[in-house]
Structures are given as structure tokens and as C-alpha cells.
Copies of this chain bind each other. A is one copy, B any other.
Amino acid sequence: MPREYRYQTLEKWLLKGLQEQRWPPGERLPSVRSLCQQQQVSKATVLHAYQRLEALGLIESRPKAGYFVLKPSTETCEPRTTGTMLPPRPVSLSDVFADIMGRSAAFDILPDLKAGEASPGISALNRCLGRALRSQKGDRSQYYDQPAGDPGLREQLALLYHRRGYQCEADNFCITSGCQNAMFLALMACCQKGDIVAVESPGFYGILQLLEQLELKVIEIPSSPATGMDIDALEAAIQQWSIRACVVTPAYATPSGSLMPDSARHKLLNLAENHDLAIIEDDIYADTGFVRQPDPLKALDQSNRVILCSSFSKSLSRDLRLGWIDGARWHARILRLKLVTQLASSRYLQQGVTEFIRDGGYRSHLKRQRLELRQNRDQLIQLIQQQWPLTLSRNTRISQPNGGLAVWLELDSDKDILTCYQRALEEGIIITPGSLFSVSGQHSHCLRLSFAHHWDNKRTQALKKLGQVLHHFA
């Protein structure tokens, strides 16, 4: 038996070539056929090696054109930020979160603009919704949908997950009013008031707020932009405190953009198994992945303790308000909670989305959107580097995520971004300060900047202005 498989040998050879710039950024790689001949390997071996390099974010396939070397983004340093672990505590956060949401400004520094064109994907989605509306038979509007949601949509969700390594059935899912709603149901199902829940630090503010309202205690586990939650730190926390559940975003966590490696995933699941933890997986960013959609953690779940939560809000539309939950061993309780907290979801809406997925509209939309998001990300990083000469220092670090909607910016440690919130607001600019992503005042020198929208002239100017505000007042 060979020490390594042929695809591994080939992958190493290709990697070396990429590092030596044998094929410069933007250039086409050798065709599959020519590599087969040249390296004396099968087509499957070449495809396997190329797909692995694509998963690493080094190359990309373009339909009918072959594989191309990806341009490295402008030079950046990955942020070092990982939160500090402090004893579990109740959550109490500022009103900045409510203010940001009240201004519809979670992912745009200039929310008053709302000026972009609707993408072709959204137009196609809206046509499907319109069709579903018109084709409702008889007086169906006088019946509640079943509590679990439309079987057709759940079937499509199962198919989408099959492609990501999770072999599930339509009946695994319950349709919710978005991912936040799914996570609310998950926490209600597996926690009691006062329980301790582990989260990433920096971690999603929506979850922190939810924990506050449900009167759960939180322990912040340091999380790095490179590999996500530090599982060793989680283990240390488990030794010390009685932790009931762990909320984690393995794929492109916000704000850090981290992707959790396989080794950490296995370790996390082992820990959960040994200490009877419920794992709540926030999978909402997976479909935004620029070069691949990582498998969900749930795919590795042997003991039915990973609750999978997601929605279409980041990948498609924030106005659909459609999410889903795979409740694992808590499925029956979650179904009951969905039923008593909102009875049902809108049937025609689900049927419209189902058609959109079936027609291939969702797939095309994601393909288009990924390219746009990557471009927006690169532009954002470039703009920051060009326009913020006074704000940036040798200590400044910018994440460079391969998915999600935001970069994480780490400024000098004596900066306090929250103090600039009001100042920026006076310029019509809304920021999401780093301290929102912690319950203990950590990350106050950090900032999440979204690239969900196109960097048109107005947003570019706003970004420049923001650099000045940060320089003068942070």
C-alpha cells in the first residue's frame, strides 16, 4: 500500500506549484485531461485534488472553463482576537443592539441608502412567491399549516443537506420564523432558567440577547478568526462549571468569520457526549461560503444531541422570515413549542420557496452571490487599507473570511469603538462595535464591518468618513 494516495501526491505537487507561482493568480490551471496524461493518473484523482484545493480557497472552478488560481486578497493580518474566559454571568447588554435593529442596520453602514438593485435571484424568488400565491387552491387560506411546516419545503431542505454530508429526512425538520427563532426554540427546549450556556467570544449578539431574555447564564469561550471556538478552553470550562448547552457556529461564525476544522469538530462532539451537553449549531452562514459550503457539524452527530438551526436570511432574503430547526432528541418538544408559540408558518410562502429551490433558482442565486460577496469583501479590505491611513497601525488586523457577510477588524488595544457609535450615527453611519459581541466588555477595540452590500460611491465615502471618526474619537 502506498504511503499516500495518488490524489495526495498530486495535491502536494499542485500546492508547491501554486506557492512558486508556476500558475500566477487569475491564470487557468492545466486542464483535467492534460494533467491526467502528464501525471499518469486517473480523471477522478485529478478532480479529487482540484476539489481539495478549491475547498482550501486557493483555486476555483468556472463552469465550462476549467480551474483558475484565485487571487490572494490584499495583504492582511488575521486578527489575534480570542475572547478571555470569565466565570459564568447573567447577560445585560446595552441598547445599541436594539438601536441597530430598529434602524434595519445589521449589515449596512448606510442603511438609509437601500439603493442597490434587486438581484436576479430575488426577482426569481419573488416570481415563485407570486405564483404560489396565485395557485392556492380553494379556501386553503382558512386552514393553518401543519405545525412542522410544509412537507415539500422540508423535503428540499433534506436534499440540500444530503449534498453537505448530512443524511436526514424531511421529518427531521420543523419550519420556524428564521434562525433566531430556531435558536430560541432550541434553548427553550434544552435549558432551564439559570442554566449555563457556552458561546463563542466574540460571539453573535443575537444569541447573547436571547440568553439575557431567557435568564440563562453565559460563559464566553475564546474563539479565533482562524479556527473558531477553542475546544480546549471549552473543556476547561466544563471541568469547572456545570454547562448545559453550547451554541456554536462552525461555518463562518459572525463576527470572526472562522471555519471550525474537522479535528475541533470531533473533539467538540466527544466532549458533548462525555458531559451530556446539548450542542446548538448555527448554520446560517454556510451557504454563503465563497469556495465551498462546509458540511454541518450535525453530519458528525452520532448521539442525536446537535440541534441544527438555520434560515434563508443570510443566503437569500431577510424578508422571507423562514428558518428551520432539526431538533435532534428534543424534536418533539421543539415541535410543541413551535405550535404553542406561533401555531403555524405561512404555507404559500413555503411553497413559493420550495418551487424556487426545485427550479434551481436557489442554486444559481448562491453561485452569483458568492462571487459578489467575495468581490465585496476584497474591495472592503482594500478600501480600509487605502482610506484609513491614520486609523490603521502596525497592530491593526483584518480578518479575511471565506464566507459570511462581514470582516472583523482589530484596532489598537486602547481604542474604544463603542464611544464612536453616536458620532458615526450623526454622519448617517451605523457601526457594530466589538463590545456588542461579548457580555463582559471584551473586544471593545474591535469592529465588525459588513460586505453584504456593493461598495458604491456613497458607501465608499461613508467608509472613508468612518475611518476619520474612528481616528479622531475612538
Contact = CB atoms under 8 A, between A and B. Distances in A.
Interface stretch (A36-44, A56-64, A143-151): A143-151
Interface string A88-131: 00000000001001111111100100111111001000100110
A347 interface: yes
A181 interface: yes
Contacts of A111: 143
A371 interface: no
A305 interface: no
B145 A104 contact: yes
Interface in A207-225: 209-210, 212-213
Contacts of A145: 104, 319
Contacts of A134: 126, 130
Contacts of A140: 114, 118, 319
B129 A143 contact: no
Contacts of A320: 141, 346
Contacts of A317: 141-142
A136 interface: yes
Chain A interface SS verdict (over half): loop
B343 A98 contact: no
A308 interface: no
Given A138-B117, A141-B118, A321 B340 contact: no
Contacts of A330: none
Nearest to A131: B130
A139 interface: yes
A137 interface: yes
Contacts of A106: 144
Nearest to A139: B116
Contact of A138 (B114, B138, B147, B177): B114
A209 B339 contact: yes
A318 B344 CA distance: 9
B142 A181 contact: no
A466 to B, nearest CB: 19
User: Number of copies of this chain in the oligomer?
Assistant: 2
A178 B342 contact: yes
A239 interface: no
A35 interface: no
A107 B140 CA distance: 12
A114 B101 contact: no
A444 B234 CA distance: 53
Interface string A153-197: 000000000000000000000000110110010000000010000
A184 B336 CA distance: 13
A144 to B, nearest CB: 5
A118 B146 contact: no
A316 B342 CA distance: 17
A345 interface: yes
Contact of A139 (B118, B143, B340, B344): B118
A136 B108 contact: no
Contact of A147 (B101, B118, B313): B101
A56 to B, nearest CB: 29
A452 interface: yes
Contacts of A348: 319
Nearest to A339: B101
A133 interface: yes
Given A138-B118, A321-B342, A213 B180 contact: no
A126 B318 CA distance: 21
Contact of A340 (B114, B210, B316, B335): B210
Interface string A411-452: 000000000000000000000000000000000000000001
A297 to B, nearest CB: 23
A130 B319 CA distance: 14
A341 B138 contact: no
A453 interface: yes
Given A108-B143, A141-B319, A321-B344, 5 more contacts: A101-B343, A111-B143, A119-B139, A129-B133, A142-B453
Shortest 6 CB-CB contacts between residues of A and residues of B: A116-B139, A141-B317, A104-B143, A181-B342, A177-B342, A184-B341
6 contacts: A107-B142, A116-B142, A117-B138, A118-B141, A126-B134, A210-B340
